[in-house]
Structure 1
């Protein structure tokens, strides 16, 4: 099938593809926001169910493991079955997750809801990213793919940023926030499902018999080093994000004594929002300077983070979050652009799923290790120590990507 054709029958550059691109971008952001809504709510759940603080780390980890399972087992299936079918099925899983949140506050229900949420979003991230690249290629065949990759990674991180902010607002001021928040998002999820059904399909039906296998890497052997370097850099960038999100509530609410769900949500929003904004503002950069600037932002942010832990300064912590977040956005955007550039059309979902899998390994491990460390050590000590460790990891991983990236 020619790249300008659509399995749905719409012609290249048609309004259907343009509408589909922007509709999916909005829906993708809403789905990602749903995944981070509970960030500010865990202390409330803890007060109700009386589980230890370490269990919050386990709940975080359940989501991360769910994402990795979704990416590994189903993230690549849209290459065969089509983008819409996989997206609608994944949204169905998110709906089940929302229903569990609505009807139970028990810790076992939280674990199940978060794992299902992660599993569904694992299928969504790779599939929606591939669909956005393809919809834009059909809407504007002569256009550089940079806009599509910027939008895809921007709405991903932008959606993640909106979740804690919305969750903080609901938790601080809404009646029955543990129920009302998820009722609102249940309606939003259903609306996104309707939007997805209406977008053009971008994958032609396969005549060959389907044989299931889990995720594997489909990359031109000549560019495998480039892909692996980008994957490790994406993992390092998401490690920074996981480190900040796992420590914000404890550091702000505990060490700094700022007892506000809204402030915690706003802080996480500032970090992740800066990730999305940096991608938009510097979208015209080529890959190598984008990665170099991203590395500089993460290094500066992590150093400022360590200092904020030493002097117990919230303004400095907030500045560190924004600067590091901007760096995360640039490196992640470059990684997604790399995955899209080196993938062929028949395996695009698979290649992008592999990149997201690497990224979510990076975001999950810091959450688990930081949670364990907080069991024995004070938050400022953990913050300073892990900031320095992550600094070394990020510098090594992102520098390798710079060396592999064409000038």
Structure 2
């Protein structure tokens, strides 16, 4: 998930030819980026249907969600940085083919083992493309001669907007079309095929002809003075993704069960509000100074988590949704600032590596907090588990803020 702030002019290597020009390729790859990210939230409004049909617990929902993040983290660690040397197109196309395979698995069988396998496979695909898409869109934008503002706007729409679109479309399809556990995956599977064709027709922007270093798993090579800023950004990414995990797993079930609103369209809308607000705030703040943006993001995220928790205790659907929008919007600003920080402190030749490191740290936020909440709700009321999670995330925000905000000039 990120705002595209890659300084494309600094990227090494010359573009290799493609059928599409840089400008057309920019839009085509952005479309593929959005659809790939959107596919990751297609299951969000469907979890309650799986749970009702098969009778598994809330903890199992968090497991199904977390295995996706495990696939992402493992792939980012072993291969997330390879697009710097093997090419953006190659890694993205491999990742898209894996995502299409995931869609086929979901379509073939909606049984729990297939759901888990499909989520792991999807995570592997996203792990391959997360950093590559971010770098690729930014580089194509620079090579087309457009301003970096365009890349920021489109990157926000493709990333957080993708999360929003995937959940919303899947929720409405599940509410009003037949075969609700298969149709959303068919729709997005077809769209990802179109996206793969678009990427295949685009020019390469990485230098794939130069000497390749010996393979090694992911690491982040930064000057010593840049590491505090990187880890502060990584901590912010952890919080943002933990909030995303909350609204992708526990929140729809909480709204359906505790608050008595079982609509699948509403479940998708809840996630849409969180991610859509994140994308919207990223777009309208493209010219805001990063320091101001980070302060606003931290404030909104903290206030949003407090309002969400209050909404859970009242309970109030309106407060819950307002808090989700605030937390999501704050998260969008935080992650935009985190990506900008990492891009600024990393060397151009290792930017994909540094971004992969940021995504790696962030995706850990999709695993640990949500599994902890999933275990907790087996023993305590969901609202109490939410209270503890919110408190922990607020403390992480406060701990990271001095290095994250103080590092900006």
TM range (shorter): over 0.9
CA distance in 2, matches of 1:15, 1:110: 36
1:174 is aligned to 177
Give, in angstroms, the shift of residue 106 of structure 1: 1.8
Equivalent position SS for 2:367: helix
Aligned equivalents of 1:125 and 1:74: distance in 2? 11
Query: Are the aligned partners of 1:253 and 1:260 in contact in 2 as well (CA < 8 Å)?
Result: yes
Is 1:274 aligned to residue 259 of structure 2?
Answer: no
Q: Secondary structure at the match of 2:42?
A: helix
How far did residue 89 of structure 1 move? 0.3
Q: Contact (CA 8 Å) 2:20, 2:202: kept in 1 or not?
A: no
> Helix, strand or coil: the match of 1:225?
helix
Cα distance, 1:59 vs structure 2: 0.5
Match for residue 386 of structure 2? 383
Segments of 5+ residues of structure 1 without an aligned counterpart are: none
The alpha carbon displacement at 1:381 in A equals 2.1
Shift of 1:193: 0.4
What do residues 145-195 of structure 1 show as CA deviations (whole Å, max 9, x unaligned)? 454245324421110111111111111111001122211111111100000
Q: Is the 8 A contact 1:17 1:139 kept in 2?
A: yes
1:288 aligns with 2:296: no
Question: 2:66·2:366 contact (CA, 8 Å) conserved in 1?
Answer: no
Alignment equivalent of 2:70, drawn from 47, 60, 65: 65
Q: What aligned pairs does 1:186-201 form with structure 2 within 5 A after superposition?
A: 186-201=189-204
Contact 1:97-1:116 within 8 A present in 2 as well: yes
| Alpha-carbon separation, structure 2, partners of 1:2 and 1:284 | 21
**2:56 is equivalent to residue 51 of structure 1:** yes
CA distance, structure 1, for counterparts of residue 52 and residue 382 of structure 2:
20
Q: Tell me how far 1:362 sits from its aligned partner.
A: 1.7
* 1:339–1:355 contact (8 Å) kept in structure 2: yes
- Contact 2:298/2:334, CA 8 A, preserved across alignment: yes
User: Which residues of 2 match residues 325-404 of structure 1 at below 5 A?
Assistant: 325-404=328-407
User: Contact 2:110 / 2:182 at 8 angstroms: preserved in 1?
Assistant: no
Flag the 1:146–1:340 CA change in 2: closer, same or farther, 3 A: farther
Native 8 Å contact 1:3 1:138 kept in 2: no
Partner of 1:92: 97
Structure 2 residue 158 is the aligned partner of structure 1 residue 155: yes
Q: 2:15 aligns with which of 7, 27, 40?
A: 7
C-alpha contact 2:13 2:206 (8 A) present in aligned 1: no
Is this contact kept in 2: 1:246–1:370, CA < 8 A? no
Cα distance in structure 1, aligned partners of 2:271 and 2:76: 25
> Does the residue aligned with 2:173 lie in a helix, a strand or coil?
helix
Give the TM-score taking structure 2 as reference length.
0.93
* Runs (5+) with no aligned partner, structure 2: 1-8
- Cα–Cα, structure 1 residues 209 and 358, in superposed 2: closer, same or farther, change >3 Å? closer
Q: CA RMSD in A?
A: 2.0
TM-score normalised by the chain length of structure 1: 0.93
Going from structure 1 to structure 2, the CA distance change for 1:381 and 1:3 (only over 3 Å counts) comes to: closer
Of 32, 38, 46 in structure 1, the residue corresponding to residue 43 of structure 2 is 38
**Equivalent position SS for 1:105:** coil
Deviation at 1:43, TM superposition (A): 2.1
CA shift digits 1:297-344 (9 cap, x unpaired)? 111111111211221000011110111111000010011112222222
Q: Using the TM superposition, give the Cα deviation of residue 393 of structure 1 relative to its aligned residue in structure 2, in angstroms.
A: 1.9
